[in-house]
Structures are given as structure tokens and as C-alpha cells.
Structure 1
Amino acid sequence: MPKKRGREKHHNPEPFLADDDGAASVASKRRTKAKQHQADETPISSGMSAKILKQAQLQQREVEDDENRARNPNALSDITEEPHRLESDEDEDADEFGGFLDSRGEDEAFKVTSRMTKEIGKEYEKELGKAAVEEDERLLEAFLSKDAGPQLTLADLIVARIKENDSNVNPSNAGSDMRPLPKLDADTIEIFKGVGQFLKKYTAGKVPKPFKHIPSMNQWEDLLYLTEPENWSPNAMYQATRIFASNLTAKKVERFYKLILLPRVREDIRKNKRLHFALYQALKKSLYKPAAFFKGILLPLCESGTCNLREAVIVGSVLQKVSIPPLHSSVAVMKLADMEYCGTTSYFIKLLLEKKYALPFRVIDALVGHFMRFMNETRVMPVIWHQSLLAFVERYKNDILNEYKDNLRVLLQTQRHDLVTREIRRELDNSRSRGEKEDDLMSIASPDSVMIKPVEEDMFDIPEVPMEDD
């Protein structure tokens, strides 16, 4: 029974509240504060809300007018500076938010208006950034080739070879889709056509064994043609890249990259506006052989003259994430500098320069020649061109000849950018040239006349150590 009374006393809070006057007063104060807080949170009246909305619309129209004046000042020169007036009564415009508002309502209105103004400012900044990107894309498209033909694929080359060897190609020697078949054994054709049907739906798991034996066969291109690589799933393309990058020679895997992987990547980007993750992993795996990657993917992409900014950013992200041997990067930079300029070539040059490899002097001179080709360029250069020049000067300013620096200064007089050009000029002016030596600050601080004697120590001059007995 005592335990039962104890539990009842513990679960009943009334005796504690009734006997404790302090607790009751605290509870009453909390209820009072809660009621006061609810009273303070009265909703904004409809009139004040309408005024807030009108003020926000006024500010938004002013921002739009400023933007229109910046874009087309001639067309908007007749517009007066008087702000727009919304449809409203004259008596409501006596006060900024209406004369019927009290002080608390005005403060709340100003808070809401300031918040809306910040949101409008953010949207304005986004529009300005978007306009800058669109302008840069337009300038890049000015350097793209307009009459570039379609990119060749493995199927195009095999069909041309079959037609060249056998001019009498008839449907009896073709597949169900009227594709001419190479002169191979009927069983071999059936096996690899079945492998192609399997790779169309492949997602995960083991790859058929006949497909793994393709790299060791002489007619590997014809066998790949039978599997229809253009219809492989993205995961099958990744597995194929792993197999061929490991087992084929650099020359053969270069053809695989150029005729199969690169067209598939560009087609996926064109259709989906982004790249499938498995195909992105295939690009990263293709750098297992760097020479084949540059000769089969990067250089053909730039030589095509149709590489857009989206493709350049996706392929460039692979270059940023994967470590590349310095020798291969040096050769790639030199090839990019010597080829005909494309809109996105500067982007790849900038990425490779930012990896901060020790480039040979021959490559540095080739880069100087690459930039000097634009001395008499009448077209406006995109921002990425100026950024690539800045990256080159920042990293290799001490390895450029003095006469080449003078030529670059002359170039900066014709090709200018408001923000980037002054940084390039500063880097050129505050650096030494190739062949010049840095001043030996230590020799200046300590002249030869000052002799520093070494410290002489006497091995027998040992201080006395007190013993415990003392």
C-alpha cells in the first residue's frame, strides 16, 4: 500500500501546483506572453499588402528599364526618368504605403519590401550572368566550322570497305536491316550478331566470352561491326572500353576511341543535353592509354570544328580529374596550339596549363606563336581566350623570352578585355625572362669583407656537475 500511494502522488501534478505559488505565477506569465505574442502577429491588412505589391512592381520595372537602357541605349533614349505609375487612386498615393498605416505596419511593410528587393536583385544578377554566358557562347560559335561534314564511324568505314571490295552488294549478303556483311564464316556472323543483341540490353553482369576474344583477332573491326556498336547500351560501352583499353595496342585502341566511343559520346550529349554516367566512366577509363585518348578523342573533337561548349566542359572535366603524364600533356598542348583554331580549343589549352606541368621550351614557344596569330584578328575573342592567355602567363612567365614578352604586350593593345588584360600585363611586367637570373639577396646582405669565424669549442672545458653526496 505505501508503494501504491507513492505512485499516485508521483502521477498527480495538482498537489505540487497547488502548493507552489511560484510555479503558478510562472505558468500565468507564460500564458500572458503567449497571448501577447499572438496579439502582435496580427495579419497585414489587404490595403497594406496591395501597397507592398505595387512598390515591388515599381522597383522591378525600374530594374527592367535600367537593363533595357544598358542593352539598347539608343532605342530607350526618349524614355523619361519618371518612374512608372500603377493604376491606383490619387488619394492612396499620399503616403508611400498609404496614410492609414500605423508605425508598426510601416516597419513591417519596409521589411517585406526590402526582402522582395533583394530577391529581385538576385534575379537581376542571374540574368546578367546568363547574358554573359550567352554572349560568350555566341562568340565561340563565331569560330566554329559551318561546313564540317558528319563524323565518320566504324560502320561507315566498314560499309565503304565492303562496297569497295565487292561492288555487287545485294540484299542476300546483308542482314535483316539491309546492312552489308563482311566476308566471314556464317557461324561467326551469327555468333557476333547474337552478341550484339545481348549488348543492346546489357546493364550489369558478365560479358559474353566471344566479345572478350575480339581484341586478339585480326579482323576485330569487322567483328565489332557485326555487334552494331551504335546500338550498345551505355553500360556495355563502358565494359567494352575497359576490355579494349587493356588488351588492344595504342594504335588499335585509338581507332576504337575515334570511330566508336567519341561518336557515341557526342550523340548522347546532343540528344540528352548531358552525358550518361556510364559513358562518362568510359571516358575516364579511356585515359588508361593517354596517347590514344589525345589522338582518338581530344584532337579529333577539336579538329572537327563543331565542338560546342557543353561537349568541351564534359570532356574537360575528365582531364581535370585524371592524372596525365607530363610528356603526353606537353605533346597535346603543342598539337592544340598548332592546329586551326576552334572556339573551344582555348578551353582545353587552359585546362592542361592549369595542371602546372614543366613544359619544354619548344612547347612554350609554340604557345606564344599560337596567341600571336590573333594579332590581326578582327573578330572579338571570347573570354576563355583571354583566360587561357592569363593561365599561360601566370604559370610560365619566367620561361618566356624577353622579345616574346614584348610581342605579347603589343598583342594586348589589339586584343583587350576590361578585367583580364591588366592582370596579364601585370604578370608580364613583374617577372624575369628566360635566361635571366634572380638576384642573390644573401650575397648583397653579407658582403665578402665580413668574415664569419666558426665557433671554437674546448672538449676539456667541462663544467662541474654536483654529485648526490654533496
Structure 2
Amino acid sequence: MGKTKRMKPSQAGEKVSLEQDIDSIRFAKPKNRNKIRLRQDDEEQFVDSNLSRKILSAAREQQRELDSSFGPTPAEAGSSKSKAPKLDDEDDSGSEQEEEDTLEPDTFYENIEINEEDEKALEMFMSSNRAPRRTLGDILNERLTEVKTHFSEEGSVKMQDLDPRVEQMYQGVRDVLRKYRSGKLPKAFKIIPNLRNWEQILFITDPPTWSAAAMYQATRIFASNLKEKMAQRFFNLVLLPRIRDDLAEYKRLNFHLYQALRKALFKPGGFMKGILLPLLESGDCTLREAIIVGSVVARNSIPILHSSAAILKIAEMDYTGANSIFLRIFFDKRYALPYRVVDAVVFHFLRFERDSRELPVLWHQAFLAFVQRYKADISSEQRDSLLELLKKQSHHSITPEIRRELQNAKCRDAETAEPKMDFD
């Protein structure tokens, strides 16, 4: 005997007519097999307005984060541990410090091998009357002497007489900063940027003896709490000499000092006036210094106003090989530069028309980058002058590319024939 079919609970509880009951027994119900068709129909429909609003909002939020944060390096993109540091006013003992302490220096910049021939070629264009390099202690002593003897319109600015207990406390802070590796910093050190005589207090802590990790934390604090001009003085008097001394001693930059350079970019005006321009104006910027500091500029976002001002200053100062390195880095950022800046760069290159020296490859590379990016922003007269320059200063492989770019350039003053509309 066959088994009786058990009715489904849904069918048992439903009240249907006799006709429907007979039809359900005689005829099989079609199964729902149009799943693929339903998906295709869904794809053809428009996205709901609320969902569109959420998508656009998320896209804008991501764009803001990308614009405000550091761009990841290729090595950082492949590492799950490396994250772009964020500048905040929170305690220094957060997870950011712990993560950065676990990273190796090679994950942030490559180990640079300098060719001796390139370095010698760069030394030929260094300033011959440059002043001898001073130590950080000499710079701070001179600065304190200026503060002691400086007179302003409101009256004399004198060094404050410190309480012996305050001086003793900051001498203890000095001992902590010498051995600092990670963790919390003394609260007495964090309030230094809020003091009127912060340079005097800072001198007591003896910055030349700080550890590299302490220098990084100090840069975070001072970049967060000081105004643009005050941060510029800290970068110029404390951070820049330490970076140059470290490179001269170890031939590579410490990981924490490299991070300090990146933090300094949160005050772009202070970075340009306190680190970049003084480094080039010194006249003795080495190839290693230019490449490492330039990598910080290349990998991070800088407002166009500060970059344009820096390009203008670099184009007008006395030439060194390092100038070409930074000019090329700024050109590769593809800013929409004002015509005044473009004209200054054109005159910068035209200055070498009567130069009898053999210019380094860096100069030709910067020239090529400028022509590729801004050939449409120069005038016809400037284009002709640059073509004449190529007859005096040439490179066997780069000059043909520059000439081709200039000959195919559509200059900013070229007349464009607009089609006329026929109303007949």
C-alpha cells in the first residue's frame, strides 16, 4: 500500500473552495524558477534616492580623508600594519605610537645609495662662500643672546628669572628626554608651547641630547600647539639641524626623525620657511639631504599656495643641484600654477643660456618635467627663447624630448579661431 500524502500545515489551515481544491490536486503548480530574470530586472532599475545620497556622502567623506591625510607609500600600501599618522591633541600614549614603534625605517623610505660621481657633480654647484655649519647648541645660544638683547616697540624683551625649582624640574625633563623611547611624556614638557618664554625653557631641556623618539614627539606637540611663525622657528632651530647632523653622522635618517619631518608638514608654511628654503639657501645641501627631504614633499599633500610660493623662491635663489630636485618634485605634483610662478621658472632656466659649466642631469630632468607639465602655460616668446636655450645647454637623451614637447606646445597666447554660427 502506498503512503498517504501528508498535507502541509499551511494547506491544512487554509480555507479554499472545492473548485480550487480539485484544481490543486489535478494540476501541478509551477515552481519559481525566474531568479536570474529577477536579478537582471533589479539591475536595470535606478538606485533609490536615499541610497544615492548615502553613496555620495560616503564618497565625499573618503575624499576628505584622502585630502587631509598623508598619501600612503608603496611599501605602506603592502603592509597591513603601516597606517598614515594623524595629528591630534590627545595623549602621546595612544595606539598610534605603539604601531609606529613596531615599524622598520625601510617601510617609509628606501635605503638610498648615492653615486660618488653624482655627488661630486652636485658639489660643483654648491655655494663657494657658504658659512661654516654650526651646531644646534651654537644656534640656540645665538638665539637666546638675541632674545636677551632684543628691543621692541613695547619695551625691552628680557629673559625671565626662573625659579630654581622650575629650572630643576626641566633639568629632570631633560634627563627623561635623553633616554625616551616610547610611552608618556612628562606633562611639564607638553605645556612648553603655551609658555611665553618657551625658547628659554626649551634650551634647559637641551634638544641636542634628545633621543630621536623624543624629537618626533616634540615635533608633534609643537606642530599642534604653536602658531605658524613659532612652529617655523622650532623647525629651523631644533628639527632641521638635528636632521642634518643625523644624516652627516649615519648617512641615513633615523625612522623617528623621518616621521618628525612628516609631522612638520601639518604646518606647511612653517615647513617651507623653516626647513625647505633654509636648507636650499644654505648653499651646501647634499644630494642625500635633498632626496630624503624631497621624498617627504613628494609623498604628502601640500596646499597649492605654499607650494607656489616655494617654487617662486627656489626659482629666484642662487642655483644649486638640490634646487632642480625640489623643482622637479613640485612639477610632478601637477599644480595649476599662476602665470607669475610659471614665468619665474622660465627665467630660472633662461639664466643658464650663457653658463659655460656642464649642467648636471638633474637640471635637464627638471627642465623636461616643467615643459611636459606647463608647456601650455608659457607664451610663444618664452617658447622660442627656451628652444634657443637648447642649442646652448643640451643632453644627448633628454634634450630631444624637450624640443619635441616645445615644438608641439600650444601656448597660452596662441589665437584660437572660433567657428562662427550661421543664422541664415
> Under TM normalisation by the shorter chain, which class is it?
0.5 to 0.7
Q: Distance in 2 between matches of 1:215 and 1:151?
A: 27
2:348 aligned partner = 370
CA contact (8 A) 2:216 2:259 kept: yes
C-alpha spacing 1:154/1:185, structure 2 compared with 1 (3 Å): farther
Structure 2 gap ranges (5+): 1-112, 150-158
Residue 276 in 1 paired to residue 254 in 2?
A: yes
Alignment of 1:236-385 (within 5 A): 236-385=214-363
Of 114, 132, 139, 1:150 maps to: 132
CA contact (8 A) 2:136 2:208 kept: no
- Paired letter, 2:343: D
Range with bigger deviation, 134-143 or 265-274: 134-143
SS at match of 2:162: coil
Alignment of 1:89-238 (within 5 A): 133-152=115-134, 155-160=137-142, 183-238=161-216
Report deviation, 1:165.
8.7
Report deviation, 1:160.
3.6
Deviations 1:136-174 (A, max 9, x none): 32221100124422345663244346668999xxxxxxx
Structure 1 gap ranges (5+): 1-129, 168-180, 452-470
Higher-RCO chain (CA-CA 8 Å, sequence separation at least 6): 2
Of 419, 424, 431, 2:402 maps to: 424
2:154 aligned partner = none
SS at match of 1:375: helix
CA contact (8 A) 1:333 1:363 kept: yes
- Paired letter, 1:156: D
CA contact (8 A) 1:151 1:263 kept: no
1:405 aligned partner = 383
Q: Distance in 1 between matches of 2:218 and 2:236?
A: 14
Residue 396 in 1 paired to residue 374 in 2?
A: yes
Q: Distance in 1 between matches of 2:406 and 2:322?
A: 25
Normalised TM-score (structure 2): 0.67
Report deviation, 1:436.
2.1
- Paired letter, 2:138: D
Deviations 1:7-30 (A, max 9, x none): xxxxxxxxxxxxxxxxxxxxxxxx
CA contact (8 A) 1:237 1:282 kept: yes
Deviations 1:312-368 (A, max 9, x none): 110011011110111111111001001111121100000001000000000000001
Deviations 1:173-203 (A, max 9, x none): xxxxxxxx98422111111111011000000
- Paired letter, 2:118: D
Give the % identical residues: 51
Equivalences, count: 303
Deviations 1:420-461 (A, max 9, x none): 101000000001111225566xx59xx959x9xxxxxxxxxx
CA contact (8 A) 2:144 2:200 kept: no
CA contact (8 A) 1:375 1:415 kept: yes
CA contact (8 A) 2:316 2:348 kept: yes
2:393 aligned partner = 415
SS at match of 1:373: helix
1:117 aligned partner = none
Q: Distance in 1 between matches of 2:306 and 2:146?
A: 37
1:461 aligned partner = none
Normalised TM-score (structure 1): 0.61
C-alpha spacing 1:432/1:209, structure 2 compared with 1 (3 Å): same
